[in-house]
Each structure stands twice: as C-alpha cells, then as structure tokens.
C-alpha cells in the first residue's frame, strides 16, 4: 500500500503537540497550579469558587475572633477591677460603721468611697476602639455623675447588645449593656456606692451598715456578670480552634483541587523536554532525506 510521502504535516503536528506538552509542564512548574484557567479542570475551578469565598470568610472570622476576644478580655478585666474597688468600699464601709471614728475620719472615709464611686463610674465608661464596653449599642458616653439623681448617676446607653459573626451562621454576643452589668431590679452597683457615700456623710451607723451590705451584694452581682464574659471567652477560644482547622482543611482542599505535586510537575517538565528534543531531532533527520541524496548526478 502506498503511504503518504508528505511527512511535513505529521511532523509539524507532532512538534506542535510536544510544544503544547512542554508549555503545560512549564506553566504548572512556574505557577505551582494545575488549574490556571477554568477549562484546565472545570469541576475543580467551580469548587475553587466556593473554596475562595470560604477561605476569605474564615480569614475574616479569625480576625473577628481575635478582635472580639481582646474586647471581651478588656471587659472581663475591667469588671475584675470593679470587684476590687467594691471590695475596698466594703472594707471602708465596715470601718465607717464601727462607731469609733471621729467626724473628720468619717468624712475622710466618705471622700475615699466617693473616689471609688468615681473610679467605678470611669471603669463603666471604658471604651475599646471607640466603642463603649458597657453602653449597649449606643455611641453616647454611658455613665455621667449626676448629684441630682437619687442614685448619683445617669445612664445614657441603651439596653441592646451586639453579636459578632465568627462563623457561617454563627455569631457570639460580645457585650452586655451597662444597664444589665451594673444593675438589676434589686442591685445597683453605682447606686449602692452612692448610698454608702451619703450614709457615711450622715454618720448614721445603721444606714452605713445596710449600705455596706448593699455594696457587698453588688460585688457578688458583678462576679456573676463576669461569668458571661468568661463563657464568651471560652466560646471564642474554641471557635478559634475550629477556624484554624477550617483554614487547614480549606488549604488542603485547594491544594488537592488545583495544586501540583512539585516532584510530578518537575518530572513532567523534564519528560516534555526530552520528548520535544526527540521530536525535533527526528524531524531534522527525516525531512531532508530523498532518493536523490544517493544518486550520482548525471555526468
């Protein structure tokens, strides 16, 4: 059977084919990716859309956890300070109720408790990153001293709280409004301090005792509120671990979808180079050969 004497198109097609393989191998080695355009692997490219969006979200959730965690820790430590101040006020109240102080000493104690009132009020106005820890969702300074009020202060915050997204469909309540942290129907932290100051100033021992006991129960109340922040912290810590695992899972998935094994890619490249050289060498050998090369020219 006659065969096609024109080998040029076949040789060109082979050369082109080996050039394509070489380009592909080179691109995979240089980008570290096996999927550079959707047509390289449509399924993987589609799965990568989800992966990219999820990775972005997980990164942001991780940042949120870190930022919220520092806010919550600040609130927790502020409340610990408040507990210390209140405990100090209880000691002062007990001292003021013992009946052996001079009027001047009594006033001195009252002034000290007044100072504690101011400290606690200032603590209740702590802000982190421009947002008040105990103002609910309001941007107004939550607490102002108000001598005209029976409790000695005015609350300008609101009763709301914010929840921050730390996962898909998962958010964590990150603050308690001051109206809840510092008071409920039976306890009023700042109010009890204010009453103690008033009682100390008046010198009435039984008033001082009952006011001191109110401050004492305020200590317990604040400690109970701290539990909330402790719980949020542990929730955030556990979410942090989950997010770290998600990051690993997503990057593993990304690698499985579009990554290349470097050893395989390098082997492919060297294979493609060899093939390409072989195709070129073969073309160089075959193309110029005809019967005429072996005939004597007519004399």
Partner 1 sequence: MTRMGGLNASLLIGMQALDAAQGALTATSNNIANVNTPGYTREVAQFSENGENQTGDEVTGGGVTLDGLQSIRDELLNIQIQQQTSLQSSVNTQSSSLQQVQTFFTSSGNDLASALTAFSGGLAQLSANPGSTATQQSVLANGQNLASAFNTTAQGLTAAQSDADRQVPQTVTQINSLTQQIAQLNGQLSQVPAAESGGTTEDQLDQLVQQLSGLTGIAITQGTDGETITTANGTPLVIGGQSFNLQTSTGTNGFQQVLDSNGNNITSSIQGGTLGGAIGIRDQVIPGFLSQLNTLASQLGTAFNTAQAQGFDSNGNAGTNFFTIPTNTNDAAAGISVAISNPAQIAISSDGSADSNGNVANLSAALTNKLPSGQTPANAYADLVFQVGSATSNANTQSTAIGQNLTQLTNQQGAVSAVDVNEETTNLMRYQAAYEAASRIVSTIQVLDNAALNMGSSSSF
Q: Please identify, among the stretches 56-64, 101-109, 188-196, 222-230, the one whose residues bind partner 1 according to the rule CB under 8 A.
A: 56-64
Rule CB under 8 A: is residue 63 a binding residue for partner 1?
yes
Rule CB under 8 A: is residue 295 a binding residue for partner 1?
yes
Judged by CB under 8 A, which of 31, 144, 154, 163 binds partner 1?
A: 163
Distances (CA, A) of 201 to 102, 111, 215, 220: 12, 9, 16, 25
Question: Which of 59, 108 has the CB closer to partner 1?
Answer: 59
- Looking up tokens 């005015």 gives 154
Quick one: which H or E segment has residue 127?
strand 127-128
Judged by CB under 8 A, which of 43, 122, 245, 274 binds partner 1?
A: 43
- What sign results for the dihedral spanned by CA atoms 148, 150, 151, 157? negative
Residues 118-157, one symbol each (x = binds partner 1 by CB under 8 A, - = not), give: -----------xxxx--xxxxx------------------
What are the contacts of 144-153 at 24+ separation with CB within 8 A? 145/117, 145/118, 145/121, 150/191, 151/188, 151/190, 151/191, 151/194, 152/117, 152/190, 152/191, 152/193, 152/194, 152/197, 153/121, 153/190, 153/191, 153/194
Judged by CB under 8 A, which of 30, 50, 98, 252 binds partner 1?
A: 50
Give me the least distance between CB of 46 and partner 1, in Å please: 4
CA 55/CA 243 separation, integer angstroms = 10
Q: Please identify, among the stretches 99-107, 118-126, 164-172, 203-211, the one whose residues bind partner 1 according to the rule CB under 8 A.
A: 164-172
Rule CB under 8 A: is residue 10 a binding residue for partner 1?
yes
Residue 290 burial by Cβ neighbours in a 10 Å radius (0-12, 13-18, 19+): exposed
Judged by CB under 8 A, which of 21, 34, 61, 124 binds partner 1?
A: 61
Beta bridge partners of 132: 127
Judged by CB under 8 A, which of 13, 248, 281, 284 binds partner 1?
A: 13
Judged by CB under 8 A, which of 19, 24, 36, 94 binds partner 1?
A: 36
Could you tell me if 88 and 116 are in contact, meaning their C-beta atoms sit under 8 angstroms apart? yes
Distances (CA, A) of 144 to 79, 148, 149, 221: 18, 11, 11, 21
Judged by CB under 8 A, which of 23, 31, 32, 38 binds partner 1?
A: 38
Kindly determine how many residues on this chain lie close enough to bind partner 1 according to the rule CB under 8 A. 57
**Residues found near partner 1 in the complex (CB under 8 A):** 1-6, 9-10, 13, 36-43, 45-50, 52-53, 55-57, 59-61, 63-64, 67-68, 129-132, 135-139, 158, 160, 162-165, 168-169, 171, 290-292, 295
């Amino acid at each position: 059977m006659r065969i096609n004497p024109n080998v040029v198109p076949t040789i060109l097609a082979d050369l082109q084919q080996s050039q394509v393989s070489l380009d592909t191998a080179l691109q995979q080695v240089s980008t570290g990716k096996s999927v550079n355009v959707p047509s390289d692997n449509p399924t993987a490219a589609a799965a990568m859309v989800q992966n990219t969006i999820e990775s972005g979200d997980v990164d942001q959730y991780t940042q949120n956890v870190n930022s919220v965690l520092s806010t919550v820790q600040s609130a927790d430590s502020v409340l610990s300070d408040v507990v210390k101040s209140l405990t100090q006020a209880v000691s002062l109240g007990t001292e003021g109720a013992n009946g052996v102080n001079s009027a001047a000493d009594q006033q001195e104690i009252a002034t000290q408790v007044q100072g504690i009132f101011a400290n606690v009020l200032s603590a209740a106005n702590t802000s982190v990153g421009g947002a008040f820890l105990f103002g609910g969702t309001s941007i107004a300074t939550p607490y102002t001293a108000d001598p005209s009020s029976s409790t000695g202060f005015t609350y300008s915050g609101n009763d709301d709280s914010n929840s921050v997204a730390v996962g898909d469909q998962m958010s964590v309540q990150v603050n308690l409004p001051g109206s809840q942290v510092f008071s409920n129907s039976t306890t009023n932290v700042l109010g009890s301090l204010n009453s103690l100051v008033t009682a100390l100033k008046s010198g009435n021992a039984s008033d001082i005792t009952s006011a001191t006991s109110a401050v004492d129960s305020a200590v317990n109340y604040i400690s109970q509120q701290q539990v909330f922040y402790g719980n949020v912290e542990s929730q955030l810590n556990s979410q942090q671990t989950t997010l770290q695992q998600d990051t690993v899972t997503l990057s593993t998935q990304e690698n499985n979808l579009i990554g290349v094994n470097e050893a395989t890619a390098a082997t492919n490249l060297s294979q493609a180079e060899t093939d390409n050289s072989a195709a070129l060498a073969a073309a160089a050998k075959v193309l110029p050969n005809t019967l005429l090369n072996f005939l004597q020219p007519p004399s």
